[in-house]
Amino acid sequence: MTLKRHFGFALAFALSTTALQAADLRIGLQEDPDVLDPDQSRTFVGRIVYASLCDKLVDITPDLEIIPQLATGWQWSDDGLELTMTLREDASFHDGTPFDAAAVVANIERSKNLPESRRKSEVKSITGVEAVDDHTVKFTLGAPDATLIAQFADRSGMMLSPTATAAAGTDFGLNPICSGPFKFDERVQQDRIVLSKFDDYWNADAISFDTVTFLPIPDTTVRLANLRSGDLDMLERLAATDVASVSGDDALQMEQAVSLGYQGITVNVANGAGADNPLGQDARIRKALSLAIDRNIINQVVFEGAFAPGNQSFPPTSPWYNTDLPVPERDVDAAKALLAEAGYPDGIDIEIQVANNPVQMQLMQVVQAMASEAGINIELVAKEFATLLRDQSAGDYTASQIGWSGRVDPDGNIHQFVTSGGGINDGGYSNPQVDALLDSARTSTDLATRKANYDAARVILQEDLPLIYLYHVTWIWALDTDLSGFTAYPDGMIRLEGVTKG
């Protein structure tokens, strides 16, 4: 996308819709979301759109406390095998379908049974769900699941109109109908997603905008230029290199929150023919690549020290981090020795796909330069983000630079990525010991027991290295000073309740 194209966006969009109203909010996204179906989607930016489009059973506070949203309260049975939720009586879906217990049942069954669902592993513990009455729903579990309420604070808890899902099937994402503060108007791929205010929203008084328009602009420089020109009101993921510039601009404001997630390299170890290469088949080569990388240098050179180096699915500041396995120091000699041991004393060529935005490209160019010094020659293949995800899911890749925005419960950062058949296990990794440890961590409500399971799984994963973790981001938003009421959340979402303009 070119700078010229997006500088002209406001005029072109005004001509097509008469004029942009003062109550229109324009948000710049780093990527274009994938399918707008919470059961099928997986992109971070898609979740940003969902924050305005699809209410969930529960939400979180900035301090990560779980609070009511569509569910007004909940109670566990003494044995942890039944969860009973009471539901709002003043909510409805955008198509007029009532939100009730029957709708919750339909949504959970879709998440569990839709062949294309990526939520299956997140609701795996649920063996039954029933409407006790119109506004009470009961979940029956096969085993205690300490993660379930946190799962309901994300896509597994997003409620879709059962009328619309029954009619549209897997095409639901072409016209998503939820129960959030805004309803879907239109989408032009790679250009815009437009939502309009849902007048019958249960909390409509907290919403100040008639429309919210999401504009995918991968180039961070262009995205910031559009904010400064007035074509955007706010943007997500300000580049760390632009923090000083925005801080010194009286026309802009900035908000930050430490994220819950990570960025790394996912390796295809068993997902189809794409795994049939030395990197996918030999953990020694993956270890060599990891040892060739100086994570502290990445943080300083690419992110000007704003982020945190990492080597696990949890940041070093997390109570779930395994302190016995600290972020490794770069060791080129050890990397070369591992390559030689694996049968490549003269070096090896590998391919890594990367999203076509400047930040991720710069990151991987730094990794590429470091790896070359150990004899690992990386060919970078830049792709539009949705294409990268599609190829990753299909196994049409060797390795992929990709991240995860993070979840409130630690399970959300690890289970579905490395357990056999996990919903986002694009590497095809499978280890029965890891499965058992992470499944066990789900069933215990004792924090020490859960921590011991995660630590033990981390030891195995550190040897197998299906994912090579690199760093943990800080979410940074830039906003026009006309906006007020925005609150930064660690999950990186943009919640518009209470946000005003002018």
Amino acid at site 291: L
Strand pairing report for 211-216 and 192-197? antiparallel
- Check whether 81 has a pLDDT greater than 80: yes
Average pLDDT rounded to a whole number, residues 241-248:
95
User: CB under 8 Å to 246, separation ≥6 — which residues?
Assistant: 224, 238, 252, 254, 478
CATH 3.90.76.10 residue ranges of the chain are 58-165
What is residue 317's predicted lDDT score, i.e. its pLDDT?
84
Cα–Cα distance measured from residue 141 to residue 143, given in angstroms and rounded to the nearest whole number: 5
The label of the residue with tokens 């592993």 reads 121
Tokens read off for 281? 């088949």
Report residue 296's pLDDT band, with 50, 70 and 90 as the boundaries: very high
What is residue 3's predicted lDDT score, i.e. its pLDDT?
44
What is residue 445's predicted lDDT score, i.e. its pLDDT?
81
DSSP state of 414: T
Report residue 1's pLDDT band, with 50, 70 and 90 as the boundaries: very low
- Check whether 323 has a pLDDT greater than 50: yes
What's the CATH architecture for 262-472?
Roll (3.10)
- Check whether 126 has a pLDDT greater than 90: yes
- CATH classification of 3-54+180-258+475-501, choosing from 3.30.1380.10, 3.10.150.10, 3.40.190.10, 3.40.50.10260? 3.40.190.10
CATH 3.10.105.10 residue ranges of the chain are 262-472
Cα–Cα distance measured from residue 263 to residue 393, given in angstroms and rounded to the nearest whole number: 17
Strands of 33-114, DSSP E: 58-60, 66-68, 71-76, 82-87
Of all residues in the chain, what percent carry a pLDDT higher than 90? Answer: 91
- Check whether 82 has a pLDDT greater than 60: yes
- Check whether 12 has a pLDDT greater than 80: no
Report residue 15's pLDDT band, with 50, 70 and 90 as the boundaries: very low
What is residue 18's predicted lDDT score, i.e. its pLDDT?
38
Q: Find out whether 60 and 407 touch, Cβ atoms under 8 Å.
A: no
Average pLDDT rounded to a whole number, residues 485-498:
96
Q: Does the domain at residues 58-165 carry the CATH identifier 3.90.76.10?
A: yes
pTM, two decimal places:
0.82
- Check whether 6 has a pLDDT greater than 70: no
- Check whether 11 has a pLDDT greater than 50: no
Average pLDDT rounded to a whole number, residues 133-149:
96
Report residue 166's pLDDT band, with 50, 70 and 90 as the boundaries: very high
Average pLDDT rounded to a whole number, residues 458-475:
97
Cα–Cα distance measured from residue 493 to residue 481, given in angstroms and rounded to the nearest whole number: 19
CA separation (Å) from 161 to 6, 123, 175, 334? Answer: 34, 19, 11, 55
- Check whether 174 has a pLDDT greater than 50: yes
CATH 3.40.190.10 residue ranges of the chain are 3-54+180-258+475-501
Cα–Cα distance measured from residue 129 to residue 140, given in angstroms and rounded to the nearest whole number: 6
Report residue 2's pLDDT band, with 50, 70 and 90 as the boundaries: very low
